[in-house]
Each structure stands twice: as C-alpha cells, then as structure tokens.
Amino acid sequence: MQVNYWKQRWVDGNTGWHLSDVNPRLLEYWQHLDIATDSRVLVPLCGKSLDLLWLAKQGHAVVGVEASEIAVGDLPQCDNLIVHCTDFFEFSDPTITAWYDRAALVALSPELRIKYFAHLASFLPRGAKGLLVTFEYPEGTREGPPFSVTADEVLMLCGDNFRCKMIASDGSAEVESVYVIERI
C-alpha cells in the first residue's frame, strides 16, 4: 500500500489532506447509516483525523487503522477509541459493524482499490454499513493523491460483496460524492 510513501509524508509534515475540524460530510450524512450507537466503527487509514473523536463521542467503539507512528502519536486519548498502528492490509476484525472512509480509497492506486474492497469483504460481517466519500475530477487535471474515483468504479469495486447507493454528489470541476455501502 505504499506504506513507506505515507509514513514519509507524515515525517515531512506533508499532510494537506488533514482537516483541522470534523469532516462536514461525516456530520451531514453519518445518520444515513442508521446504525446502533454502540456499533464498532472502523476508520481505515485514519491519520490523526478528528472524525475519530467525533465518532467516539457519538457512543461508537471506534477502531482506527494507521501505519504512521507520528499520526497515531498525535491523536488525543479518548474513551471508545483504539488505533492500530499497522498496514491496513494486515488488519482484520470481524466484530466491526460499520466503517467510515473519507480518505482511504482515494489515497490508493487503482490496483490497490480492488485489494482494499476485497480485504474489507474478507472480514466485515454481512450487514456492516459504511459511509464512503470520494472525489472525481477530469483526467489529467491533477495528479493524486487524492485520486479520482468515479461512481462506475465504486460500483465495480462493490461487486457482489457490497450494495452501494450514492446519497450525495456535488461540485463542478471536482465532484465530491458520498455513498452508503452495505456488506451483503
């Protein structure tokens, strides 16, 4: 997963994707998952996102996965939050019942996106729901990450393992889309 690349970006302080507040898409669309307050929520490639703390404050048992020791070390302590400092593809937890992806899928190359969804399918139980945020922009207008991920690609990645519904899409030159995805 280009783990060394991401670790070096944390070392260099090159973390332009990190928001100084909770992601507005999480605040606006999380309730669309309609999950229990005590759900175990996975946040892959979580960095030191404040989204983790917000999810924990909602009563969820939050499980972050991040390869950078720097990012993990910068996270404040919080009840209901466990962060595993490891490569996401080495992580597995069949007790996860929900997940949130704002920056994981769009950080991966196309071949790793396929592996990412296959890995999620390998341990998420049926009925586990996720909120996915992607970006789409015209080819050649910018170099990722974040990489452009089209709606057609999301549907292809879901395949026979996930049901997918786009619940929001906005923007002009760069489209940000939000999906509810359920393990079937």
Per-residue tens of pLDDT for the chain, all 184 residues: 488 888 899 999 888 888 899 999 999 999 999 999 999 999 999 999 999 999 999 999 999 999 999 999 999 899 999 999 999 999 999 999 999 999 999 999 999 999 999 999 999 999 999 999 999 998 888 888 899 999 999 999 999 999 999 999 987 678 999 999 999 9
How far apart are alpha carbons 13 and 15 in whole angstroms? 6
What is the reported pLDDT for 171? 74
Q: Does 99 reside within a domain?
A: yes
What is the reported pLDDT for 35? 97
82 phi/psi in degrees, rounded to 5 = -125, 130
How far apart are alpha carbons 158 and 154 in whole angstroms? 6
CATH number, domain with residue 50: 3.40.50.150
- Give me 70's structure tokens: 């720097």
Q: List strand residue ranges (DSSP E) for 17-140, in order.
A: 40-44, 61-66, 81-85, 98-101, 129-136
Q: Does 130 reside within a domain?
A: yes
What is the reported pLDDT for 166? 97
What is the reported pLDDT for 114? 97
| Domain of 98, in residue numbers | 3-9+22-183
The answer to whether the beta carbons of residues 131 and 77 sit under 8 Å apart is no
How far apart are alpha carbons 23 and 43 in whole angstroms? 13
- Give me 117's structure tokens: 């969804």
What is the reported pLDDT for 80? 95
Q: Does 15 reside within a domain?
A: no
Q: Does 28 reside within a domain?
A: yes
What is the per-residue pLDDT across 75-103, written as a single tens digit (0 to 9) for each? 989 999 999 999 999 999 999 999 999 99
What is the reported pLDDT for 17? 84
What is the reported pLDDT for 173? 73
Question: What is the model's pTM?
Answer: 0.94
Number of domains in the chain: 1
The answer to whether the beta carbons of residues 62 and 80 sit under 8 Å apart is yes
Residue 121 one-letter amino acid: A
